[in-house]
Amino acid sequence: MCPAFIQCIGDKCSAAAQECAGPDYSKGVYAGTCGSYYDCVKTCNCVKTCVDKCIPDTSDCSACLLYTLGYGCTLPCASAVTSCGS
């Protein structure tokens, strides 16, 4: 995962991130509702074409990404994601 994004998520919404990615997400160890999705993303090293191929494997993961992280965390951290791909 992108270090700037992980830092932003940790600063702004660690509890929500733990729900979706597991308690050790900041160490690059993924579990939780979206563990396998994050493992896929991790292997991509922020390469968008690779990340685009990672698909949430359950509806619970999709909901966690969209609602818990998407609206609650990712939007406030959008600039960190953008800077990571630079």
- 9-28 residue pLDDT tens: 778 788 888 889 999 988 88
Asked if residue 4 lies in contact with residue 84, where contact means CB atoms within 8 angstroms, the answer is yes
What is the model's pLDDT at position 45?
85
pTM: 0.70
Q: Is residue 85 part of a domain?
A: no
Q: Is residue 39 part of a domain?
A: yes
- 27-41 residue pLDDT tens: 889 998 999 999 999
CB count in 10 Å sphere of residue 77? 21
Q: Is residue 9 part of a domain?
A: yes
d(CA 82, CA 62): 21
Domain span including residue 37: 3-80
Q: Is residue 15 part of a domain?
A: yes
Structure tokens at 58: 């359950």
